[in-house]
């Protein structure tokens, strides 16, 4: 297992905070995080970066506007943000000299992964979508609450929304307050707050609709796809993965975890990492 490095990398017009490990000579894994307030690549992927670096050059960047990655502009729409992240990630992969990348997208990161596949299909050999946005669904109360966190931010509100990411609050136990305090501190950074508030203004159903990938485009995706979802996902309903299973154009499989909400990579960490390792090898 390689030592994990964490640093702000200057590439083009970007300043991206990246956690990475492994050798660039190996195939690459790009891990894309979700959209919760105070979210970062490390909070989503700490274990996965270390695990996958045994076999792959593993990269977990903070998307522009999140955590320590600066956003050079604040687009007016979520699709404008998608263009920003697309340019940021392609430039980062070029900086590292990566091609034939395995993509892993969590929640909003799943929608980012789908846009990367559609625009630069030759760069990616497989994709894992977990609790992914990009399919049609009715905005859940939980996701509306999460995206509207800054309407009245508090540490108590952060603890409430963090508890929804796991099926059983007891899974977090005494760590809930600690995690909430850490995430609240990260979320209240002025630059992070300003960027996040610009991403998901009310009414928020429009952001779900704008991020939806047209069926005709889904059929054009030919890379192997693994869909991973918690059956009891309170934030992005499991029906979204069923929709993608039906409409994706290439080889696709789905793994559903029972008694699991939105944090499959944390609630079922060992099983999740074993599942993905096998999928990557099978996609060669």
| Catalytic residue set | 107, 233, 262
What are the beta bridge partners of residue 28?
57, 101
Q: What is the number of alpha carbons within 13 Å of residue 216 lying toward its C-beta?
A: 0
Q: Count Cβ atoms below 10 Å from residue 123 Cβ, excluding itself.
A: 18
Q: Count Cβ atoms below 10 Å from residue 109 Cβ, excluding itself.
A: 28
Exposure pattern of 231-243 as b/e (b: 16+ CB <10 Å)?
ebbbbbbbebbeb
Please, are residues 159 and 183 in contact by the beta-carbon 8 Å criterion? Answer: no
The dihedral over CA atoms of 268, 149, 38, 232, expressed in degrees to the nearest 10, equals: 10
How far CA 153 is from CA of 184, 188, 191, 222, in Å, comes to 8, 8, 15, 42
Instruction: Enumerate residues 6+ apart whose C-beta is below 8 A from 225.
Output: 126, 127, 128, 129, 244, 248, 250, 251, 252, 253
CA distance 280 to 23: 17
């Amino acid at each position: 297992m390689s030592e994990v490095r964490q640093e702000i990398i200057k590439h083009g017009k970007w300043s991206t905070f990246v956690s990475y490990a492994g050798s660039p000579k190996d195939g690459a894994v790009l891990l894309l995080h979700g959209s919760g307030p105070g979210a970062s690549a490390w909070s989503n992927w700490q274990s996965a970066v270390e695990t996958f670096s045994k076999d792959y050059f593993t990269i977990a960047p903070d998307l522009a506007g999140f955590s320590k990655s600066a956003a050079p502009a604040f687009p007016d729409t979520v699709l404008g943000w998608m263009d920003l992240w697309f340019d940021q990630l392609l430039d980062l992969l070029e900086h590292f000299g990566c091609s034939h990348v395995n993509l892993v997208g969590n929640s909003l990161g799943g929608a980012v992964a789908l846009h990367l596949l559609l625009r630069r299909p030759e760069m990616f050999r497989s994709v894992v979508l977990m609790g992914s946005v990009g399919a049609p669904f009715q905005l859940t109360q939980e996701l509306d609450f999460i995206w509207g966190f800054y309407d009245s931010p508090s540490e108590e509100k952060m603890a409430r929304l963090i508890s929804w990411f796991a099926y059983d609050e007891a899974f977090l136990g005494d760590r809930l307050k600690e995690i909430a305090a850490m995430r609240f501190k990260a979320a209240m950074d002025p630059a992070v707050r300003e960027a996040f508030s610009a991403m998901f203004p009310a009414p928020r159903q429009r952001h779900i609709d704008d991020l939806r990938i047209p069926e005709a485009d889904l059929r054009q995706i030919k890379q192997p796809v693994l869909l991973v979802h918690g059956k009891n996902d309170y934030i992005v309903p499991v029906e979204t993965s069923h929709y993608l299973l039906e409409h994706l154009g290439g080889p696709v499989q789905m793994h559903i975890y029972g008694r699991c909400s939105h944090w499959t990579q944390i609630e079922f960490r060992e099983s999740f990492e074993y599942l993905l390792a096998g999928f990557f090898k099978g996609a060669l």
